[in-house]
Homo-oligomer: A and B are copies of this chain.
Amino acid sequence: MTRDARNDTRRSEWHIPSVKRTVLIYGVVGGLLIVLLRGIEYRYLVLEHSLEIYGGLVAVIFAALGIWLGLKLTRPPVVVVREVQIPVPAPLTFALNTASQEALGITKRELEILEFIAQGLSTREIAERAFVSENTVKTHIGRILDKLGARRRTQAVQLAKERGLIP
């Protein structure tokens, strides 16, 4: 257990990043390999095709190292799937019913206006918040009423809620 403790201390002092350590190992192995191969060549493989054997060995070994390196570097991050218990806050889990939105041909802008209406804002207030003129808002609302088949904004709100257009 003492060894472990010392190791930990060392690590905390040096703290070499894993990538750098990898490169280091790579270089050392490569160097050793060269030396090894030279020794081998000069002692046993002084043959006709020593060059091809040498190249092949280097190729194979470095290819293996490359594959290993590739795996090491691209080791995908561990994905932690955590299941969270949501207390089902009704207004937080609103999913826009894009189906009925598209079916009715309601545009993004109109949906925006619709939400303002649902908040109980007047045409003028909506115009202020949407940075457009009252006339534009009235046009939008007119189209919204048309598409929803409503006659009043209150009715439009009700219908929009039924169709999942607004929370």
Tell me if B71 and A120 are in contact (CB < 8 A): no
Q: Which residues of B contact A142 (CB under 8 A)?
A: none
Q: Which residues of B contact A19 (CB under 8 A)?
A: none
Closest B residue by C-beta to A75: B74
Q: Is A79 among interface residues, defined by CB-CB distance under 8 A?
A: yes
Q: Which of B52, B70, B150, B159 contacts A34 (CB 8 A)?
A: B52
CA distance A89 to B159 in the complex (A): 18
Tell me if A37 and B66 are in contact (CB < 8 A): no
Given contacts A120-B155, A121-B155, A150-B120, contact A73 B67 (CB under 8 A): yes
Q: Could you jot down 15 A-B contacts, CB within 8 Å?
A: A34-B55, A34-B56, A41-B51, A58-B59, A58-B62, A62-B66, A63-B63, A63-B65, A69-B70, A71-B74, A118-B154, A119-B154, A119-B155, A120-B156, A120-B157
Q: Which residues of A does B touch, CB under 8 Å?
A: 30, 33-34, 37-38, 41, 51-52, 54-56, 58-60, 62-71, 73-74, 76, 79, 85-86, 88, 90, 93, 95, 117-122, 150-159
